[in-house]
C-alpha cells in the first residue's frame, strides 16, 4: 500500500509552512527594533517639547488671532490641533513613506530578501506582511504623536476646551471625537505617497529612493496645486484636499472636501499598490 502523501496534503503543508515562515508578529518585532523606527519615535516625542520651548522664547501667539497658530497656547486641544497641522503634510508623510517604502529595499540591502522567498514565503504574502506592518507602524506613530501633543499641551497650557478662531469653542467630547477623525483623515491623506514609496522601493531596492520619490511627488503636487491656471484639474492632485480635516474644528463643519479627499486618496493608493504587487511578482530577486 502506497504511503505517498496526496497532492492536496502536500499543498496544505506548503501553505502552512509559508504562513509560519513570516508571521506578522515576527515582522512587527523586526521593524520596531530597527534604528530608524527608534529615531522616528524620538523625533515625534521631542517635537511638541521643542514647539513649547519655541513659544516660551517667543511672544506665545495672539489670543485674539484668526489662525490656529495664534491660539496654540490656549490649551491642550488647541495645541494638539496646531501640532497636527504643522506635522501632517511633511513629517507624517515622510514617516509613512519611510515605514512603508523602506521595508522591502531594506531586506534587499541586507541580502536577506531572496532567503525569505525561499523559506518558503509567497511573494504576495511577503509584500502584504511588510505593507500591513508599515501601515500599522505609521498609524500608531500618528496616534501616539497626537496623544502626546495633548498631554504636553495640557501640562504647558492647561486643559481648556478648543477655541475656534473667531467662532467660539468646542467641548472636550466633541474635540476628542473630531481629533480622532482628523487623525484618521491625515493618515488616509498620506497613503498615496506611502503607496508610491512602496512601489518605488519594490522597483529599485533603494530605501532612500523610495522615500525621496514620495517626498518629491508631494512637493511637485503642492507646487501644481498652487497654480490657479490649472483650475479644476488641481482637484485630481493627491494632496489637494490634504487640509480638509480642518473643517472638523468649525462650528458647522462642511465634510465635502474630506469625502472628495478620501475618494482620490483611495484611487491613488490602489493604483500604486497594484503596480507594486505586479512588479514584485515579475521581479528577478537577486539579493
Give 157-176 pLDDT, tens digit per residue.
999 888 887 667 888 999 99
Q: What is the pLDDT of residue 158?
A: 92
- In sequence order, what are the beta bridge partners of 168? 164
Indicate whether 9 pLDDT > 60.
Answer: no
Q: Look at residue 20 and tell me if it is in a domain.
A: no
For the cut 50, the answer to whether the pLDDT of residue 6 exceeds it is: no
Which contacts (CB < 8 Å, 24+ apart) does range 267-274 have?
A: 268/191, 268/192, 268/195, 268/196, 268/238, 269/191, 269/192, 269/194, 269/195, 271/195, 272/192, 272/195, 272/196, 272/198, 272/199, 273/131, 273/195, 273/198, 273/199
Kind plus residue range of the DSSP H or E element containing 83: helix 76-88
* 50-73 mean pLDDT: 75
Q: What is the pLDDT of residue 8?
A: 44
| 285 pLDDT tier (thresholds 50, 70, 90) | low
Q: DSSP class of residue 154? A: H
Written as nine digits, the cell of 124 is 504576495
Per-residue confidence at 14, pLDDT binned at 50, 70, 90?
Answer: very low
**Mean pLDDT for the stretch of residues 265-269:** 97
Query: Residue 207 domain-assigned?
Result: yes
* Domain membership flag for residue 77: yes
Domain assignment present for 4? no
Looking at the predicted structure, is the pLDDT value of residue 203 above 80? Answer: yes
Mean pLDDT over residues 35-47, rounded? 92
Which domain does 67 fall in, by range? 36-282
> What is the pLDDT at residue 273?
95
Question: pTM for the whole thing?
Answer: 0.85
Counted domains in the chain: 1
Q: Residue 10 falls within a domain, yes or no?
A: no
Mean pLDDT for the chain overall: 83
Per-residue pLDDT band at 220 (split at 50, 70, 90):
very high
For residue 29, is it within any domain? no
Residue 13 resides in a domain: no
Asked, for residue 73, whether it belongs to a domain, the answer is yes
Rounded CA gap, 76 and 28, in Å? 32
Amino acid at each position: 500500500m502506497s504511503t505517498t502523501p496526496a497532492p492536496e496534503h502536500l499543498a496544505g503543508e506548503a501553505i502552512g509552512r509559508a504562513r509560519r515562515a513570516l508571521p506578522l508578529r515576527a515582522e512587527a518585532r523586526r521593524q520596531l527594533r530597527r534604528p530608524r523606527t527608534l529615531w522616528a519615535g524620538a523625533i515625534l516625542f521631542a517635537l511638541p517639547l521643542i514647539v513649547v520651548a519655541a513659544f516660551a522664547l517667543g511672544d506665545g501667539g495672539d489670543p485674539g488671532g484668526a489662525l490656529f497658530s495664534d491660539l496654540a497656547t490656549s490649551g491642550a486641544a488647541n495645541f494638539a490641533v496646531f501640532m497636527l497641522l504643522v506635522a501632517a503634510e511633511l513629517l507624517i508623510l515622510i514617516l509613512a513613506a519611510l515605514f512603508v517604502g523602506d521595508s522591502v529595499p531594506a531586506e534587499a540591502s541586507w541580502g536577506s530578501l531572496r532567503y525569505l522567498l525561499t523559506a518558503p514565503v509567497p511573494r504576495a504574502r511577503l509584500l502584504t506582511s511588510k505593507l500591513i506592518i508599515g501601515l500599522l507602524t505609521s498609524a500608531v506613530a500618528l496616534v501616539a504623536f497626537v496623544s502626546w501633543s495633548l498631554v504636553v499641551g495640557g501640562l504647558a497650557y492647561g486643559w481648556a476646551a478648543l477655541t475656534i478662531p473667531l467662532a467660539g469653542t468646542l467641548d472636550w467630547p466633541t474635540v476628542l471625537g473630531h481629533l480622532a477623525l482628523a487623525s484618521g483623515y491625515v493618515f488616509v491623506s498620506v497613503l498615496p505617497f506611502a503607496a508610491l514609496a512602496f512601489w518605488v522601493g519594490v522597483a529599485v531596492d533603494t530605501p532612500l529612493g523610495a522615500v525621496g520619490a514620495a517626498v518629491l511627488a508631494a512637493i511637485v503636487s503642492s507646487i501644481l496645486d498652487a497654480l490657479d491656471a490649472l483650475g479644476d484639474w488641481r482637484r485630481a492632485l493627491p494632496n489637494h484636499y490634504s487640509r480638509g480635516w480642518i473643517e472638523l474644528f468649525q462650528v458647522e463643519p462642511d465634510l465635502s472636501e474630506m469625502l472628495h479627499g478620501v475618494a482620490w486618496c483611495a484611487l491613488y493608493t490602489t493604483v500604486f499598490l497594484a503596480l507594486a504587487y505586479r512588479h514584485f511578482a515579475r521581479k528577478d530577486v537577486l539579493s
